[in-house]
Structure 1
Amino acid sequence: MLVSRRWRWAAASRIGTSHLRMGTRKQDAFCVRRINPYTFCAVVSDGAGSASYGGEGASILCRSLMTNFRTWFEGHDYLPDGEAIMCWIDQVRDRLSEAASQRGVTRRQFAATLVMLVVFKDRVLALQIDDSALVARKEGVWDAVCWPENGEFASTTYFVTDDPEVRLHTFHLNLDYDAFALFSDGLESVALEQATKQPFARFFDPMIRPIDQVEGEGRLVELSGALARYLDSPALCERTDDDKTLVLVSCR
């Protein structure tokens, strides 16, 4: 028997000190929606720092995919298949091409990465392009669902704008988890242990605890504000000068 879960989340996205120094806009974007009692979606995108409109590309990517999934679940009682998802990715690419044409630049100037969580009933769907990450908690232990991907060399990055086709990874899992965290690569150094390829429990446990303990549902405004202040804190900015986006989700 399916049980409607009590979804609640805190989320924040803050500009990196490197962008502040250069006078450029924040490149990260995110979107979170509880679509119905059995469906929850969250997406994070990081625009390429080398792309003139990477932040706009990230925003378009997040909005487009969230709209696609919301529309899908309004008419379907099952997860979309790979063909439907690739169709939506192609639609995003077309939108980015149109935006690029309007500005007289190539689509590559809207390059952005992707990590997305879709929970439908007792199933989990995760999507990933490149180095944003998704981790999940099961029986008190954090595990990496989507580990950051880079190319053969550390400086190689994959984007939704890549030609001739996008490098999209898709993961299907049972809903054995009671908490999730999505984040951009600006938090990789403090959230992930590279040697073991595992999340830092000492980072995620105290971050998720207040969300676990809240009685309400939906977006937690006060905790989202506290999360934003943490992402702007000098202690964290000393460790990373990139944009930082973090979405913390509990369904315990």
Structure 2
Amino acid sequence: MISFVKEDNTIQYLYSKIGKHHIDAGTGNQDSVYIGKICDETYCLVVSDGVSSCKWAKTGSEATIDTIRTLSTKIYHNEISIDDGDGIKRFIVRDWKNHFDESWNDYGTTINFVIWSRGIVLAGQIGDGLLIGVTDGENFLMTDMDENYSVETYALAEVVLKSSIQLTVRKNVNNLIAIAMTDGIGKEMNMESIYEFQDYFVDLIKNRDEETRNKEVELWMSQLNQKNDDDKTIALMVLEGKT
């Protein structure tokens, strides 16, 4: 799946492809991704990776999209304070759990997201994957991965430690770049040059023609497929001059 939208000083790009592991298992792509405008002056980006060992992982990852869209709306209407980190964490966990009657461990998923609403940016992460971006020239980075990468990770499930939910808040943001990716891509990134990658990827998506853009991304993903057989999802959101 590839999608590209450029309008109203915004760019929305996403790429998602099933990995060999899930092709062989016949389970489908367990990643879910969303980028879009939620309401006036409010956008969000969500990338989730259903935990492969969970019975209904895809359903779990899909539910995060609805949760973050709802959170975006509540932030816009001042129903949840951007400064109430604990309240935001409780809302994410409770709202996601409310999508299912019980057996939350069957729906385990990681999540990376960014919300922009009237100049406020909220970025969040539970579990692995990689989230990078720039707000008015100031970089941010969120990752639960390191050189000692493990198949074990935090996730939305029956028990979610408050300390496992990372949040970053930026205010009075006029320009935003955010890139989120699941661990099928993120764990292969060179963290020492991550912001050079960020600049290159934004230029590729923003300024190159469709054929060049698609050919280069497909080549990159083919190379990553030689390194791991995970699903691979990446999303980019660019907002310019929004306040």
Using structure 1 for the length normalisation, give the TM-score: 0.75
Displacement, 1:64?
Answer: 2.5
Contact 2:93–2:160 under 8 Å retained in 1: no
Counterpart in 2 of 1:199?
Answer: 194
Using a 3 Å threshold, how does the CA distance of structure 1 residues 159 and 110 change in structure 2: closer, same or farther? Answer: same
- In the alignment, the residues of structure 1 paired with residue 38 and residue 131 of structure 2 have an alpha-carbon distance, to the nearest angstrom, of 20
Displacement, 1:79?
Answer: 5.0
Aligned length: 227
Specify which of 167, 170, 176 is matched with residue 167 of structure 2: 170
Using a 3 Å threshold, how does the CA distance of structure 1 residues 77 and 160 change in structure 2: closer, same or farther? Answer: closer
Displacement, 1:199?
Answer: 1.5
Query: What are the within-5 Å matches in structure 2 for residues 34-73 of structure 1?
Result: 34-36=37-39, 38-73=41-76
**Stretch moving more, 173-182 or 115-124:** 173-182
Q: State, as a whole percentage, how many aligned pairs show the same letter.
A: 20
- In the alignment, the residues of structure 1 paired with residue 73 and residue 93 of structure 2 have an alpha-carbon distance, to the nearest angstrom, of 15
Counterpart in 2 of 1:179?
Answer: 177
Contact 1:230–1:236 under 8 Å retained in 2: no
Counterpart in 2 of 1:212?
Answer: 206
Contact 1:191–1:204 under 8 Å retained in 2: no
Query: What are the within-5 Å matches in structure 2 for residues 70-109 of structure 1?
Result: 70-73=73-76, 75-76=77-78, 79-80=81-82, 81-82=84-85, 83-96=87-100, 98=101, 101=102, 106-109=103-106
Counterpart in 2 of 1:14?
Answer: 17
- In the alignment, the residues of structure 1 paired with residue 187 and residue 104 of structure 2 have an alpha-carbon distance, to the nearest angstrom, of 30
Higher relative contact order, structure no. (Cα contacts within 8 Å, ≥ 6 residues apart): 1
CA-to-aligned-CA distance 1:106-152 (integer Å, 9 cap, x gap): 321110011110112333211110112210146878x44212258x9
- What letter is aligned with 2:72? F
SS at match of 2:116: strand
Counterpart in 2 of 1:245?
Answer: 233
- What letter is aligned with 1:111? G
Using a 3 Å threshold, how does the CA distance of structure 1 residues 27 and 178 change in structure 2: closer, same or farther? Answer: same
Query: Could you say what the CA RMSD is over the residues aligned between the two structures, in angstroms?
Result: 3.3
Structure 2: 5+ residue stretches without partners: 1-7
CA-to-aligned-CA distance 1:177-222 (integer Å, 9 cap, x gap): 54220111110234342xx4x6262x433321144338xxxxx9x5
Using structure 2 for the length normalisation, give the TM-score: 0.78
Structure 1: 5+ residue stretches without partners: 215-219
Matched, 1:154 2:150: yes
